[in-house]
Amino acid sequence: MRAINISQPGGPEVLQIGDQTIPACKPGEVLIKVHAAGVNRPDTLQRSGNYPVPPGASPLPGLEIAGEIVEGDFAGTSWKKGDQVCALVQGGGYAEYCTAPAATCLPIPQGLSMIEAASLPETCFTVWSNVFDRGRLNGDETFLIQGGTSGIGVTAIQIAAALGHRVFATAGSDEKCRACEMLGAERGINYRNEDFVEAVKAATAGKGVDVILDMVAGEYIQRELNCLADDGRLVFIAMLGGSKAPINFGQVLLRRLTITGSTLRPRPVPFKAAIAAQLREKVWPLIEAGKVKPVIYKTFPLEQASEAHALMESNAHIGKIVLTLN
């Protein structure tokens, strides 16, 4: 099969297409003929040598796919050969064939193309597990997403807004802020010329927001604590701004703030299966009703994976970048 391999740690140019052996299914897995694969920030980090592959995972990049099941272990599942699915995988998505745990596969939402479906798993699993499970966003609580036009951002805005929450989002240009507002954010905040702490406090009568999803970390952490409401929760899922920061722990104690974080890729299959079940019950109906829509910025054929990574790292995109296969 054709697949993208990382020849050595480095820039986008180290992504090379070549022949690989079609992977064999382990118990509980299915083999999927891939039609499209989403491109995500962890893929670029793995390529540059900054994101180790979990033990037992494919060394090939790619964490989300859409395609057709061609064989597998169907015991205890509703899947069968020929079913069209999208799936969260531990790696190997940039290839013509990829194995996936049957429990982390989801049906293609009604009305969506394979390309659109391939953009869903990584962001939906990440947003649901961190914002709604770990962050416990519920009721009439308010929510801030940093990086509102990233793949994670466009998904987080739409799901939270569809569930009735007031949503605020940061972005790096006025155009991107408008895109956030079109997706359902009450307010897009241009972090280049506006203080998001002041903007959030002004919009919430000084209270702050209940939950923040952050991909920056670094010096953002203390500023985010400053704009959390009492009993607020800060969940970070990346450290693009650095892994260390000075924090006022007195503020955390007095205001009962929670700081937490997680990575999805190394979590065990049963954990991901539980998230898949929640997505199928609570998010897939929103997608099929048109309340949450895939936002595809650009597609590239598999052979142009390096160009896709260059675009991802330019931060010029709004939404998802997807690789396509014949």
pLDDT, position 239? 85
For the chain, what is the largest distance between any 2 Cα atoms, rounded to a whole number of angstroms? 59
Residue 175 has pLDDT above 80, yes or no: yes
Domain 124-261 has CATH 3.40.50.720: yes
pLDDT, position 245? 86
Instruction: Establish whether domains 2-120+265-324 and 124-261 are of one fold.
Output: no
DSSP-derived secondary structure letter, 8 = S
How does the average pLDDT of the chain come out, rounded? Answer: 96
Q: Which residues pair with 39 in a beta bridge?
A: 321
Please tell me the distance from the alpha carbon of residue 201 to that of residue 229, in angstroms, as a whole number.
9
Q: Domain extents for the chain?
A: 2-120+265-324, 124-261
- How much is the average pLDDT of 111-116? 98
Please tell me the distance from the alpha carbon of residue 161 to that of residue 142, in angstroms, as a whole number.
10
pLDDT, position 92? 98
pLDDT, position 217? 86
pLDDT digits (tens, 9 = 90+) for 271-309: 999 999 999 999 999 999 999 999 999 999 999 999 999
**Kindly report the CA angle at 255 between 250 and 256, in degrees rounded to 5?**
95
- The CATH label, of 3.90.180.10, 1.10.10.10, 1.10.10.920, 3.30.70.260, for the domain at 2-120+265-324 is 3.90.180.10
pLDDT, position 109? 98
pLDDT, position 242? 84
When mean pLDDT is compared across 74-78, 175-179, 207-211, the lowest value belongs to 74-78
Confidence of residue 27 (pLDDT cuts 50, 70, 90): very high
Please tell me the distance from the alpha carbon of residue 48 to that of residue 59, in angstroms, as a whole number.
13
- Portion of the chain with pLDDT greater than 90, in percent: 94
Residue 54 has pLDDT above 80, yes or no: yes
Q: Which residues pair with 300 in a beta bridge?
A: 323
Confidence of residue 69 (pLDDT cuts 50, 70, 90): very high
pLDDT digits (tens, 9 = 90+) for 85-105: 999 999 999 999 999 999 999
Instruction: Yes or no: say if 37 and 22 are a contact pair by the CB < 8 Å rule.
Output: no
230: Cβ–Cβ under 8 A, 6 or more apart, which residues? 255, 256, 257
Strand order in the sheet with 166-171: 187-190, 166-171, 142-145, 209-214, 228-236, 258-261
Residue 243 has pLDDT above 90, yes or no: no
* Helices first, then strands: H and E counts in the chain: 11, 15
Residue 326 has pLDDT above 80, yes or no: no
- How much is the average pLDDT of 139-146? 98
Confidence of residue 240 (pLDDT cuts 50, 70, 90): confident
